[in-house]
Structure 1
């Protein structure tokens, strides 16, 4: 699971042609000129006399006086508008690295200039590296079949850091986590059916400080996670499709100051179940495992950095929502782990069922932990994509809002180009899930697609809180427990193209910046 090695260049003299370790310079900038190196600035000046594309689009300049003889000028575009953010630099680096790769470079230098002296752009160089790695990633199936060296030809990326300020260990760890998350989310449904998905997670943590436990016993799953077990019912007939629950645990050195309890949804293929997806909407549903992929990616970053004073329990529900004679169906009433009676409204709203019992176990754990924060992460609703486009959405309960949990995560994500929008749990959400009779305690969903339902991405948080028992731990309770639901249905893949778009690994960078950078 390799990715470009990262290194630092502090001596600008190494930008010259005598540097044989690097074979290209990518200037990521909001300007046409270069202030760091007179050699680069002169090469740009000469090129400007014959090529007016410079400053408008990425351009390859022949520059024999520079390392590798190649200079790529990749513009960030304007950065002074109210809506501009640090992603401008990440996008420019992505375009520049692809041009460098296609030109034959293997060990490019990235030089970032023209960065506004504002806090919002403080991580422009780091975001440029992550943007380049995002652009270079190729699917696991391609790497396994063709060979990593054949499809991912960039071997290293050197960042110009004259003041020696960039935290290379943190950057490398974040990219390691993002790469694992992309692999898990983006790989086809047979290679990463539940067993394969769980095994890949275990392999990724081998030799690290993260302990992994895989639960595959059907009786245990149906007893401890009955809602997940119901979703998996039709998949039990096919051995390779049988469900898994994956626990990952990390306990940092020293006194524990913060406990994170993360729950991730991994529906390895979502047919919709008995409420089958139609009209071409089933294509791309192997990516419905992006939430658990992101949680595993965060744990990989955590394993690399080994922070002190932090305890993390991550649980992944890995299920195939299959169609068959034993499919669970709408109208069923299932007794959840929490003791809540759940009436099924639509079998294509399976993700919240997969996570609810895991969250209930997390609730029980949180009662005895130091400063616990609970999160569910999922590609949950089409409404999230419709409402917020390519952004991650957070919905908090009362204690999380009291602690500004979403605000802090949003701020961390904004500064690292992993952008987030914050929603709000409202009384209409709770009305949506209220029982219609005394036979049940909560309705999982209505019987229509979330995109056509008002507050379609907000009300699932209410369902998760009630079905897991967290509704008893609100701000006014004897034991408040902070809980935030994270919907990445809009941010999980590039361009909202669920079949072909690259997984983004959102919100791994935001989580790492919030909880691991210190």
Structure 2
């Protein structure tokens, strides 16, 4: 899992040809000048006199005095409007690295200038680096089939850190985790069916310091995770598609001060089951494992950061929602691990079923944990993508809202360019999932697509809380437990292109910034 190695420098002389091993300068700035280097500034002044494109688009400039003879000027555009944010720097850097790669550079030096003094932009250089890595990533299968050095030719990224902003070890851990998350999410449904996904995780976490275990006994899965097993029922007859439950655990040094309990949705392919996806909507459903991939990536980052006083327990539910004679169907009533009787409303609302029993087990662990926070992470609803576009949505229960869990994650994500929007659980959400007869306790979903239902991305959190028994642990209970549902249907893939877009690993950056950053 190679990716561009980060090399920090504070010496402006490294911009010059005779003092550098770099082969291009990538200048990301809202201006057409350079404060750091008079030589770079002179090059820009000369270009500005003859080419009005400077500052309006990304430009490759021949500059023999600079390293590699290349200066790539990346204009951020305006950064003083109410809606501008640190991603302006990241977007410009991504365009710059693409031009650098096309020009033949392999070891560019990045310089970020013109950063406003207020807090919202203080991570601009780090965001620029992470955006570069996102742009450069190529799918695992492409790297396996083709010459990796040709399709990912950038070897190092030099960072000229004049402002002493960058924590290189933290950035390396974040990008390592994101790369694992992208690889796990962005790979085809046969390459990473549940058993292969689990095997790859075991290999990825070898010698990481994490405790890793995989439940592969299908009868045990039926016994402990009946809702997950129902989704996986039609795939059980195909050994390479059989369900897996992956457990990852990190325990930091010293007294534990906080416990994160994370549940990741890992549907390696979603046909919709008996409620079959039609009209071309099945394409891209191999990425329905993005929640599990993001959680696995976060655990990679945790293992590299080794935070003290933190315990992280992650469980990934890996299934294939296949269709066939054995598939589960609407109207079935299944008793969850929590004891709650769940009536199936729509088999294409499978993700909440995959996570509910895992969350119930997490609830049991949380009751004896130190300062627990429970989270589910999932590519759950098309409604989330419609409602919030490319942003992660977080819906909290009462205790999580009391503790400002989502608001703190939102602030961390905003500073690092991993946007989060905070929603609310309302009484209407609980009304949607109410039982209609005495035969069941909760309805898993309505029988229509989430995009056409009011509060389509909010009410699944109510179902998850009730089906997992967390409704008994609200703010007014004897033992409140903070629970946050995280829907990444809009943020997990670039440009909402589920079949071809690059996975992003969201909300890994926001979570790392919140729980792991100094």
TM-score, reference length from structure 2: 0.99
Q: What are the residue-to-residue correspondences of 1:483-502 with 2, within 5 Å?
A: 483-502=483-502
2:35 is matched with 35
Residue 5 of structure 1 corresponds to 5
Q: Whole-Å Cα distance in 1 between the matches of residues 164 and 404 of structure 2?
A: 33
Separation in structure 2 between the aligned mates of residue 211 and residue 147 of structure 1, nearest angstrom: 34
1:448-468, CA deviations, whole angstroms, 9 ceiling, x for partnerless residues? 000000000000000000000
CA distance in 2, matches of 1:54, 1:502: 29
Q: Relative to structure 2, which stretch is displaced further, 164-173 or 328-337? A: 164-173
Change in CA separation of 1:165 and 1:122 when aligned onto 2, cut-off 3 Å: closer
1:197-276 alignment runs, 5 A limit: 197-276=197-276
**Partners of 1:362 and 1:279 in 2: how far apart?**
37
Other-structure match for 2:356: 356
SS at match of 1:395: strand
Give yes or no for the alignment of 1:508 onto 2:505.
no
CA distance in 2, matches of 1:390, 1:8: 31
Report what 2:437 is aligned to. 437
Give the 3-state SS of the residue equivalent to 1:81 in structure 2: coil
Matches of 1:416 and 1:458, distance apart in 2: 25
Provide the secondary structure at the position in 1 that maps to 2:438: coil
Distance 1:472 1:252 in 2: 30
Maintained 8 Å contact 2:333/2:341:
yes
What is aligned with 2:325?
325
Q: Where does residue 140 of structure 1 map in the other structure?
A: 140
Aligned to 1:56: 56
Count residues in correspondence. Answer: 518
User: Residue 26 of structure 2 corresponds to which residue in structure 1?
Assistant: 26
**SS of aligned partner of 1:200:** helix
Deviates more, 1:50-59 or 1:472-481: 50-59
How many angstroms does 1:150 deviate by?
A: 1.9
Rounded to whole Å, the distance in 2 between the matches of 1:291 and 1:499 is: 16
Q: Structure 1, unaligned stretches of length 5 or more?
A: none
Task: Tell me what 1:481 maps to.
Answer: 481
Provide runs of 4+ in structure 1 moved above 2 Å. Answer: 162-165
Measured after TM superposition, the shift of residue 20 of structure 1 is: 4.2
Q: Supply the distance in 1 between the matched residues of 2:106 and 2:202 (Cα, whole angstroms).
A: 31
Distance in structure 2 (CA, Å) of the matches to 1:393 and 1:370: 26
Structure 2: gaps (5+ residues): none
Q: Deviations over 1:476-516 (max 9, x none)?
A: 00000000000000001110000011111100000000000
TM-score under structure 1 normalisation?
A: 0.99
The alignment partner of 2:424 has SS state of coil
In angstroms, what is the RMSD of aligned CA positions? 0.7
Matches within 5 A, 1:163-182: 163-182=163-182
Cα shift at 1:351:
0.1
TM-superposed CA distance for 1:202, in Å, is 1.3
- Answer whether contact 2:14 2:20 (CA < 8 A) is retained: no
